[in-house]
Amino acid sequence: MSKVFVFGHRNPDTDAIASAITMAHLERSLDSALDIEAVALGSPGAETRHALDRFGVVAPRVIERARPDVDEVILVDHNERQQSVADIDDVTITKVVDHHRIANFETAAPLWFRAEPVGCTCTILSRMFGENSLQPPPDIAGLMVSAIISDTLLLHSPTTTDLDRRAATALADRAGIDLDTYGTELLRAGSDVGDASAAELIDRDAKSYTMGSTTVRVAQINTVDVDALLARRDEFLAAMNTEAQHEGYDLFLLLLTDVLKVDSDLLVVGAPVDAVEKALGVTVHDGHAKAPGIVSRKKQIVPQLTEVLRAT
């Protein structure tokens, strides 16, 4: 049996890393002969490292290409090709588990595909454990609940569903943690920007999308001190402009999200800015807009902006 890689999207967040590790564990539990390895398309950030250290799990190794190590891959927490491994067109995708929109995705052969409109991929994986009469071990459960906390801002994001709430409660119990105490600790760990440059920060949690004929980059920085980040506004806008020109993005949006207040500010470069204003109901002035209540790229930015840009 040939080796299989399982991985999340580029610039991996906690769900991308945790769901890859979890999916690999589940696949091995269902088929002990399977040679499968969880890998990553980037180094884990501070929040993810906190979760890995807390539950004693080794971070997956980082790869840039899947070939020649494997011919088959499993995708978790993404399906859009521009968010995947560099040589995704040269390998066979056998399975996908995701909670995002389906876009820019096709395969030559049939595959196993599961996508659900929930707040986190690890919520889907939790359901898959139950459907197979299995339970994740405590360390994996800890990573899974960390991913749910991260993706749903401790169950306060508008992406949160009852399935996420039930999964988080059960996984926290399995991991032996208090959900609220640990959740606040994890979110604070993820908000530490240290002495990172603006260029580094805008690439930590960023995804690219094709919306009509417009290429859009949407990045997000979680923080407990938005004012401190806004004091660096000019630095961020300059870094966004540089990257947009270098990578060919028409629009670059940066969401600065207060994880405790569940609120955001938005920085914008590129065009058309009026599409951003119309889609999100904001007013952009000198590259900045208040974005009250907008905390989810997946639910509150991408669908609305896609609809507006496709109509232009």
- Nearest 5°: the CA angle 147, 151, 155 is 100
Kindly tell me if the per-residue pLDDT of 1 is higher than 80.
no
Average model confidence (pLDDT) across the chain: 96
The whole-number average pLDDT for the span 240-251 is 97
**Predicted pLDDT of residue 138:** 98
pLDDT tens-digit series, residues 5-21: 999 999 999 999 999 99
For the record, the structure tokens of 92 come out as: 């066979």
Question: For the chain, what are the domain ranges?
Answer: 4-191, 198-311
Please tell me if the domain spanning 4-191 has the same topology as the one spanning 198-311.
Answer: no
Q: Is 50 in contact with 190 (CB distance < 8 Å)?
A: yes
Decide if pLDDT at 192 tops 90. no
Share of the chain above pLDDT 70, in %: 100
Q: Note the pTM of the prediction, 2 decimals.
A: 0.87
CA distance linking residue 135 with residue 267, whole number of Å: 42
- pLDDT tens digits for range 65-85: 999 999 999 999 999 999 999
- DSSP state at residue 282: -
**Which pLDDT value is given to residue 25?**
98
Using one digit for the tens of pLDDT, what is the confidence trace for 84-137? 999 999 999 999 999 999 998 999 999 999 999 999 999 999 999 999 999 999
Please state which of the four CATH numbers 3.40.50.620, 3.40.50.300, 3.40.50.1000, 3.10.310.20 is assigned to the domain occupying 198-311.
3.10.310.20
* pLDDT at residue 146 tops 90: yes
CA distances from 93 to 1, 121, 208, 210, 297 (A): 16, 18, 20, 21, 25
Is pLDDT at 311 greater than 90 in this prediction? no
pLDDT band of residue 195 (cuts 50, 70, 90) is confident
Burial 237-259 (b: 16+ CB within 10 A, else e): bebbeebbeeeebbbbbbbbbbb
Written out in words, the top-level CATH class of the domain with range 4-191 is alpha beta
Q: How far apart are CA 174 and CA 176, in angstroms?
A: 6
